Structure 1
Amino acid sequence: MGKSGFVTLAGRPNVGKSTLINRLVGDKIAITSPRPQTTRNRIVGVLNGDDFQVALIDTPGVGKHGSKLARSLANVAVKASHDSDILLFISDGRASDPDGDRSVLGRLKSSAPKTILAINKIDLVKKGRLLEQIERFNAFGCFDEIIPVSAKTGENVDKLIELIRERLPEGPLYYPAGIKTDQPEVFIIGEIIREKAIFNLQNELPYSLAVIVDAVEDRSSGLTAVAASIFVERQSQKGIVIGKKGSMLKKIGAAARMELEARLKTKVFLDLAVKVKEKWTSDSRSISDFGYGLKE
């Protein structure tokens, strides 16, 4: 019997959790952006080695309580960390606020028997600054290992994998060999569309966006037809997403279609609609209907 287990990636928003899980898995299973609340779901990425399997759980960033949506997303991370064999806590090496990490770690580190700290974005940090970061985290006294990494360049990621492997319990494979995520393709399609909307829209609007994939149809002509709805929470936001004469929606659609065609290896016809769900980020039922937060 080999080794296997569940590892939760957690930390504050925008520390690079999704970029790191994509790097570890070797595929884009989680979207990324510079904005908080980009990750809204508990996404499992599967890393298979010669004698081990790791179920890597990407979680929303844990920050200030904020809206009902933000609280729901934070609860996803807390629950996942409590259910895992290893907590992989990720910090931004450029950050200068240790109390923020300490506060988040206090919410997360409850029952996970082992905790590894990955100080991310070291490609953007000077060596002296990095040593200071390691020293202050050592003072926390709660990490089994501390390792500086760069999810962007891959620096030290192999060493991180070995640290995880060494600490895995013996167990069976939880997922079939070769699988990279527990999420269906339709989920990733919706997330790619939301990612392109986030990148193209400004201000607070990205926090109000949700995407539902209404249909995916493989046609005999070698074309995949995708119909999806982009939801906002105010009527005034609908016009922003559509843009003048549909310009913004076309821009979002073109960017999403390009990535979808590369991923699906087929031509894609993408039909996007923009809809309003009033104040959905403040409504528990709507948050659940969009697939966010913990399922009751």
Structure 2
Amino acid sequence: MFVEGDQNRVIEKKKGKLIPILLISFLSLVVLSVIIILLSRFISYKVKNSPSITKLENQWKEGDYLGVFETSSILIEKNFLKNTILTYRGYAAYRLACSEIDPTLSQKYIDEAIRSLRIALMDAKPNTLGQIYYQLGRAYFYKNTVSSYYYYSDLVVKYLELARSHGYYADDIPELLGISYGYLGKSYDSIKSFSEALNVRESDSLLLMIAEQYYKEGQYPAAKQYLFQVTSRANDDNLLLKSQTLLAKIYIEEDDFDSAGELYKAILEKDENSPDAHFGMGLIYEKNNDMVKARAEWRKTLKIDGSYEPALKKMYR
């Protein structure tokens, strides 16, 4: 039979054992929680930084186009024909080409953009076709720009028109089509596209491009209407000089030599090294049977631009 003192000692003994057990359990729980947290962070880090479609999407959202390009390079080795990878790679390569100041690297990126997007088309979902066609059209347009030969204008037109036929629209499509149709010599298609672009944003450069196409077709009254708008309000000196030069050429074609002469003199006051203005003045002197002054103007033209073909023909015919 326990006495009260013995009972207290038993209780105290049990308490003495229970406290360490509770402390050990608590510490174990803390350690386990820390391990779980660190492990989850490690897994999250590995997932985030390991090459994956998710990583591509995150890099694209962050504007890390070089990261997208490099990640896609790793992923392509594992799955060369994966449409999503190729699409992101093509988009990123296009952005890198446009931002690259080294022409060689820019050309490399744009070629890779075109290659990736063309392969992506092979397995593209119907709802993504329009956007890929659009990006391909822009890529070929940029390739024209860096090559300066405009050999790819037909492909620009092809893919941009395909984009629109698949229901994809972007504000720059009409202007890109207008420029490309112009390079292909399809002036009326060019004018139609530029006119559509004017509905998106009116600009003096668009008005000048429309005038140039009308000029090529010999539609001088229509060309002059647009040129008058540009010359009356243009704030860009370069744009103004181009418009005045084209307007003066039209006056020459129409045998309005007085108006042409006034414009050429105004151009030379702003830019005395304009080969077009000197050549035009030579034509006016030629019309007035003053061949000494005419040839003097053509010599000035060739001094500024030795390959100016019309002046070469005049001097060495």
Check whether TM > 0.5. Answer: no
Q: Greater strand percent: which structure?
A: 1
Q: More relative contact order in 1 or in 2 (CA 8 Å, sep 6+)?
A: 1
Q: Which has the larger radius of gyration?
A: 2
TM-score by length of 1: 0.21
